[in-house]
Structure 1
């Protein structure tokens, strides 16, 4: 095991010896959090005053409100008119109460819901009376519903208080669907995974009395128990935009918690069928690429692999088979993952990977079952490791063709030969998920300067496997699960055994329990990891930015260049008070140095012991000035396994909503100086300067046709580093079909010591035989994210997205770390040695002038990055479940680094918005056109 037995003893000694201020604040606020968790529940009611925000009455789910569905003997034409006989026979639901703005009061307008069913579907009819004109804008599927008059139907069809299916429709017939786990949130509405696109019908009518809606949801799109007599959970909600009013049946107070566990009981559904068991979704796609191609200097022959106008075609198939009413098999052959949103532009100057959101439907749909653990440290201490990060599957090949290649043909994404998963819920509170995917070996073909053609394997054939088993007890209050992942690669015959693990495994258990009306929660998780491979790749893993085993002063770590495997663990405990006016949480986690899950998951740090404490106060009741407000605070601390305190933060934040629905929010954070075992990127320990940072934001009334949010962030450090950032997001709704969103942002930062490189020098005995080079960095970034949505009908829409992005940085005042354990630097040419810059931009440095130390060269790191990325997507759902996409993607990228180009472009690293925008738009564009059509079959 890679943990020393005296770690906790060493840690306690280091903490006792820490500076008094962060120690006292940390201990005091942690004790406050524990006090709030242990406080009697009646404090919540006292703090809530006379409002409806909370209750200390013990909730009995057996006494939940009831709704009843009736069987229809005649077909229902889903046209929104509610003129079938069954709508006069079904019991009416009218007792909806306000969630906002007057919590617990009756709705300002009468609302009626009725529920019917036949052998194949459930029907909901709604009559939404309104004395004023309704607001119902057209929007593409799954657009946010926050600025419409709309209704939401939330179904817990398996009645396990876990999975919630949400169906929303607004007064113009635009609709949204989502599925969420964990009970669907505090009130069971909103949020969820919107990539889930079931086949269902909806229609609305606007009348003189208000508006009406009719919804048909096939049973084939839901999961439910195989019982003749069904018992479901249901929540019905209505939003009236002009009042910012939300009413719900059943009503759940803001300060209570429960989600689906607080739904009403839906009775009366019996003798139903799950519908057709088999669904096919074949697709056909064609793509044309019109790219700007350039030959390297000195090459007088054309690219043999690309002409600049290249065409491709693809076919594939998605399959869904219902093994039971609550268990589904999904499979895909040659999946098309090209029609997804564009990742945002990012300039990453850290040593850590950037995490992007998964948007591919096969992996997102049903992905909730594969989420592991509840709670844990978050925020400034970093997120818990993610054991299953599906973007590892089908990623860009990790290998490269040799450096002597002048032209190459290498896939931009690894081919997924096939993938399948089984997900669902079975009896006894069990839920399961099992997914396997196989990616192909990718071979890159290349040509060198003498026109000799060769090949290189850039990605091996790989098998990915993830499994999840979970059981609920006590009506969902207690949850116990296990999980495991496996990655196996065929590296034989490749040159990749020094870059990739041959096998990687992880597994563990998680547990959570809630009590006292779900007011309190205890959760814990333990996972282990094991990777194996060639000694070269294991050595690379030990020296990666996640752990830096090579740190010369890290006595608790040993770099083993001959090791063929590496193992570790991650453990977490979390105790939280999650309901009531006062909230609090204390979470602790330990990630051992050898813990490694990046083959299948996502992890940025190990060798960490974390304590994260949070407390909050929420006041949901309107007063003389504020409609609602809340404040939060959090002291956090992180140590490594040697007991060095490598992070400390004390922060507070607030959110205020005024009576006119404008909002003001902000926060303040203080970081005292602490040890930093990452600053030198594998070198000795250093320190960080003190840091004070904050933010403030103003949000306008979301009921208006024009809404906005203005944000300002700032930071200042004791070494004169600073950061200033401003962003403005505005949404324009000129009419019922158009929506325009503009998001300009501007950021400037000055870092006094940005890591540049390290250089070996046996004479640098103060820093263990290497010089760690830093530089002052001035960076400026500006962008304008623009989205235009035009909705012709709820089934036909056009979305335009464009983002011009400019980021420049220039390095000055090159310096080296003076000695370990400090934040002291010696500037070349001022404190020590000499420095000069050659015409190409590189720096020649003699660290001791006329002394014996050898001189060295540092490349010019100044950069100017300009890009314009965008796409246009026409989406037409031409029949239920079948969609046509027409896509145009364009990118213009002008990326320059000073080294070698300083003589041709002296402005590299300098920010001039007019010049940079001109250079960006004058850059030749790459264009890609895609047409894709799929056809849903439900035989």
Structure 2
């Protein structure tokens, strides 16, 4: 009960702070409709631009926040619209045009580049914007930004062209309505901000001033007026694809040919339906597999485009981990007497998936996601009769998410999220529901958030319920920042059928204080000092876990050398109640002190590197961990660059769980070494064609010197009679070589070569040569694939077959294009 009382006090503080009048200044620009669309060629010589209004008087955002842009870098942007979309023409002066940075990169990547940046918010709610960037090399980058947090997984079809002139450079951009979201009404008022970065001085300028003293970046939009009575085209597009795969493994080669379709349909100007029919994710990148000796599974990043694009609504509350869909089956088969497991599937095939999302004029966001996966079967062989039996480990399964997100004020929202997993037949089902409140006062100086979640798991005619509760108050203004937080989870909290969670049965108290420079001082462009205090306990029955103090810092010099460091102290012995893997048990571990330093050199230069060193020293003789990383990179030209990564982790006398022997919990003392080498390289032919290399070798070994039995009081008693069979060495090696060509708007050809192998050895301590000999004695997977996708816009198709419809006759013709 005491935890709920504390949460209630924090929630009541919502009304305890002054609701000051918002004083953020907002520029506005009234733009005209044109009948003849300009050609997107980076020249701005079309008649449509002659009478266009100009957005000017940009203001420095960083490093000197609030300073007026110098006349030598004067920036003017013309904006117009028609029934197809909105057009931007930016002229950016530069007294040294030969120094404008123009590194070619892959799409959605910015290297050593000057760039022009557009933020559009169709709802003008200062919470979520669509972001469009074009570099001086003509490379496109797009993303969605929500309350200052960027999600660059979103890709859209839009058009741009740039040119370098004697006075600087020019960017011309066309953004179609069919990729935007705005309410259906006659007169539109959109949020707008624009920025320009000069790379050689690492200086950024914005149209509407962004005050770094308080609030999120998205609060500082200006406004577009004048868009009215637009007859938007039907928002319907198709992305058919064909793909072919040749896979060779252990001397056997198989060939696969696939075809399918992605569909996007604008139900209205605000809501969109996305569907994937006959999915193909064969070219998704490899996961970075590791040797996992922890109590929890490893969380991998999503690599499949459909599950990364347009999911900002479904990410509310972190109840959705998309890798569950098409991941491991929910059950496994155990071989009986005289049986052996012939085949156990490690993933389930996706049949189809769809999502509908959008936002009403009143600010209510609605999202519905649904996916269906296929059955999966394991095979078991009878050793005596050689007969195979098949056993279902996953039935047909439906995954569903429903989100309601009501925004209010300039930076506040209330959200309800529900996830549901229904498996056909007598299999496990699950449901999770969350309520989330995020409130920022009108002065944008304090933010308050609170949430509660419930999880229900239905299995074996039983229902298991768990809950999580969180509350936080956060000062978000000024040089001095602070926050306080409390959160708890009950033992049976479990969202892992469609979400991802690890720790349960805890209560946690967190305090934070931070100091920052808001303007450059002395030789520093910025400085951040952060202090954190954590108190962690088991919830039921109550048990102290640990108290941790953390300090970390970051500094950037006027020469853009970044460095920092910190230390962490856990002064008391701590009780870990997860490592024993049995509810109610815990193990005592010593406290420690940890210190680290890091640095990044000036990335404006051709050669640059970053690295860190982190040393844990435990309050136990001989027990320590040293972690280090070094990542140099070299830019040979604006087309060619290479990077190398080295990561080393050495732990001595580390202690951890190794096994169960009936009721006995076995721990071990081990020396562990992890070494990871990676190489990446890009050769960019132009802003449509690229060649990319990714290589990674990961090695990790654990060598056990002692074995222990865990006592009921958390102590470890050494076992001298038990045989040590727990040494392990794990290797994984993978190489991706990818050729990509954007040959038409939203249309791409990708050729991918892959090489991969791994090994798992129940030994440790081999030499480097012995380790590699063993790794390469295993079968390798070699794969060559080609995939062709083509973007079809319904309006272009209709126009091609209807000579009487001239609405699209002025569509821009010469363009650089983005992806679907």
TM-score > 0.5 by shorter chain: yes
**What's 2:712 paired with?**
820
- The answer to whether 1:520 aligns with 2:478 is no
Q: Is the 8 A contact 1:803 1:870 kept in 2?
A: yes
407 and 799 in structure 1: CA distance in 2 versus 1, 3 angstrom threshold: farther
**What's 1:877 paired with?**
742
- The answer to whether 1:592 aligns with 2:484 is no
Q: Is the 8 A contact 1:219 1:273 kept in 2?
A: no
1:781-860 to 2 correspondence within 5 Å?
781-817=674-710, 819-823=711-715, 825-829=716-720, 835=721, 845=722, 858=723, 860=725
Task: Measure how far apart 1:37 and its partner are.
Answer: 12
Task: Measure how far apart 1:266 and its partner are.
Answer: 0.8
Task: Measure how far apart 1:219 and its partner are.
Answer: 0.7
Is 920-929 or 317-326 further displaced after alignment? 920-929
706 and 67 in structure 1: CA distance in 2 versus 1, 3 angstrom threshold: farther
**1:251-281 deviation per Cα after TM superposition (whole angstroms, max 9, x unaligned):** 1122221433320011122222332222111
Q: Is the 8 A contact 1:7 1:643 kept in 2?
A: no
- The answer to whether 1:428 aligns with 2:362 is yes
- The answer to whether 1:347 aligns with 2:311 is no
Task: Measure how far apart 1:401 and its partner are.
Answer: 5.5
- The answer to whether 1:278 aligns with 2:226 is no
Paired residues, number: 780
662 and 38 in structure 1: CA distance in 2 versus 1, 3 angstrom threshold: farther
**1:267-305 deviation per Cα after TM superposition (whole angstroms, max 9, x unaligned):** 122222332222111111111110026xxxxxxxxxxxx
Looking at structure 1, the residues matched to 3 and 151 of structure 2 have their Cα atoms a distance apart, in angstroms, of 41
**What's 1:549 paired with?**
none
**What's 1:605 paired with?**
503
The structure 2 residue matched to 1:751, chosen from 640, 653, 670, is 653
Looking at structure 2, the residues matched to 372 and 635 of structure 1 have their Cα atoms a distance apart, in angstroms, of 26
**RMSD of the TM alignment (CA)?**
2.6
**What's 1:655 paired with?**
554
Task: Measure how far apart 1:412 and its partner are.
Answer: 4.4
**1:148-177 deviation per Cα after TM superposition (whole angstroms, max 9, x unaligned):** 111111111222222211111111111111
- The answer to whether 1:741 aligns with 2:706 is no
Task: Measure how far apart 1:126 and its partner are.
Answer: 0.9
- The answer to whether 1:160 aligns with 2:125 is yes
Task: Measure how far apart 1:226 and its partner are.
Answer: 1.4
Looking at structure 2, the residues matched to 864 and 76 of structure 1 have their Cα atoms a distance apart, in angstroms, of 62
Task: Measure how far apart 1:912 and its partner are.
Answer: 3.6
Task: Measure how far apart 1:859 and its partner are.
Answer: 5.3
Looking at structure 1, the residues matched to 706 and 340 of structure 2 have their Cα atoms a distance apart, in angstroms, of 36
Looking at structure 2, the residues matched to 826 and 258 of structure 1 have their Cα atoms a distance apart, in angstroms, of 53
**What's 1:298 paired with?**
none
6 and 324 in structure 1: CA distance in 2 versus 1, 3 angstrom threshold: closer
Looking at structure 1, the residues matched to 495 and 781 of structure 2 have their Cα atoms a distance apart, in angstroms, of 36
Looking at structure 1, the residues matched to 434 and 2 of structure 2 have their Cα atoms a distance apart, in angstroms, of 25
Looking at structure 2, the residues matched to 801 and 78 of structure 1 have their Cα atoms a distance apart, in angstroms, of 34
- The answer to whether 1:732 aligns with 2:634 is yes
Q: Is the 8 A contact 1:180 1:368 kept in 2?
A: no
Q: Is the 8 A contact 1:780 1:911 kept in 2?
A: no
**What's 2:178 paired with?**
220
- The answer to whether 1:478 aligns with 2:405 is no
The structure 1 residue matched to 2:423, chosen from 470, 486, 489, is 489
**1:325-372 deviation per Cα after TM superposition (whole angstroms, max 9, x unaligned):** 010111111212222222113111011011111232212212111222
Looking at structure 1, the residues matched to 632 and 778 of structure 2 have their Cα atoms a distance apart, in angstroms, of 29
- The answer to whether 1:569 aligns with 2:495 is no
Looking at structure 2, the residues matched to 911 and 806 of structure 1 have their Cα atoms a distance apart, in angstroms, of 12
Looking at structure 2, the residues matched to 246 and 38 of structure 1 have their Cα atoms a distance apart, in angstroms, of 37
Looking at structure 2, the residues matched to 444 and 514 of structure 1 have their Cα atoms a distance apart, in angstroms, of 52
- The answer to whether 1:927 aligns with 2:782 is yes
Q: Is the 8 A contact 1:134 1:149 kept in 2?
A: yes
Aligned partner of residue 427 in structure 1, secondary structure: coil
- The answer to whether 1:468 aligns with 2:430 is no
Aligned partner of residue 220 in structure 1, secondary structure: helix
**1:702-736 deviation per Cα after TM superposition (whole angstroms, max 9, x unaligned):** 21122211111110111232100110112221101
Aligned partner of residue 370 in structure 1, secondary structure: coil
Q: Is the 8 A contact 1:401 1:408 kept in 2?
A: no
Looking at structure 1, the residues matched to 339 and 553 of structure 2 have their Cα atoms a distance apart, in angstroms, of 56
Task: Measure how far apart 1:656 and its partner are.
Answer: 1.0
Q: Is the 8 A contact 2:740 2:748 kept in 1?
A: yes
**What's 2:328 paired with?**
396
Aligned partner of residue 421 in structure 1, secondary structure: strand
Looking at structure 1, the residues matched to 479 and 519 of structure 2 have their Cα atoms a distance apart, in angstroms, of 11
Q: Is the 8 A contact 2:239 2:262 kept in 1?
A: yes
Task: Measure how far apart 1:483 and its partner are.
Answer: 1.6
The structure 2 residue matched to 1:136, chosen from 87, 102, 115, is 102
Task: Measure how far apart 1:922 and its partner are.
Answer: 5.8
Aligned partner of residue 77 in structure 1, secondary structure: coil
Q: Is the 8 A contact 1:436 1:464 kept in 2?
A: yes
**What's 1:379 paired with?**
none
821 and 578 in structure 1: CA distance in 2 versus 1, 3 angstrom threshold: farther
146 and 736 in structure 1: CA distance in 2 versus 1, 3 angstrom threshold: closer
Aligned partner of residue 242 in structure 1, secondary structure: helix
**What's 2:307 paired with?**
363
**What's 1:777 paired with?**
670
Aligned partner of residue 363 in structure 1, secondary structure: helix
1:552-701 to 2 correspondence within 5 Å?
564-641=462-539, 642-671=541-570, 672-682=572-582, 684-701=585-602
In structure 2, runs of 5+ residues without a counterpart are: 795-820
Looking at structure 2, the residues matched to 254 and 628 of structure 1 have their Cα atoms a distance apart, in angstroms, of 12
Q: Is the 8 A contact 2:654 2:672 kept in 1?
A: no
**What's 1:865 paired with?**
730
Q: Is the 8 A contact 1:120 1:219 kept in 2?
A: yes
Task: Measure how far apart 1:752 and its partner are.
Answer: 4.0
**1:751-792 deviation per Cα after TM superposition (whole angstroms, max 9, x unaligned):** 3422222334xxxxxxxxx44322211111111121111111
489 and 58 in structure 1: CA distance in 2 versus 1, 3 angstrom threshold: same
1:230-379 to 2 correspondence within 5 Å?
230-292=188-250, 308-373=252-317
- The answer to whether 1:118 aligns with 2:67 is no
**1:41-82 deviation per Cα after TM superposition (whole angstroms, max 9, x unaligned):** 9xxxxxxxxxxxxxx996435x51112322223231111011
Is 912-921 or 434-443 further displaced after alignment? 912-921
Q: Is the 8 A contact 1:645 1:674 kept in 2?
A: yes
Q: Is the 8 A contact 2:608 2:633 kept in 1?
A: yes
Task: Measure how far apart 1:917 and its partner are.
Answer: 4.2
Greater percentage in strand:
2
Aligned partner of residue 685 in structure 2, secondary structure: strand
**What's 1:147 paired with?**
112
**1:617-671 deviation per Cα after TM superposition (whole angstroms, max 9, x unaligned):** 1113222232210100111112122221213211111111112110111121111
**1:530-564 deviation per Cα after TM superposition (whole angstroms, max 9, x unaligned):** 111117xxxxxxxxxxxxxxxxxxxxxxxxxxxx2
**What's 1:704 paired with?**
605
Looking at structure 1, the residues matched to 4 and 130 of structure 2 have their Cα atoms a distance apart, in angstroms, of 46
Aligned partner of residue 479 in structure 1, secondary structure: strand
TM-score (norm 1): 0.79
Looking at structure 2, the residues matched to 610 and 491 of structure 1 have their Cα atoms a distance apart, in angstroms, of 39
Looking at structure 2, the residues matched to 921 and 731 of structure 1 have their Cα atoms a distance apart, in angstroms, of 28
The structure 2 residue matched to 1:72, chosen from 19, 34, 50, is 34
Looking at structure 1, the residues matched to 38 and 373 of structure 2 have their Cα atoms a distance apart, in angstroms, of 46
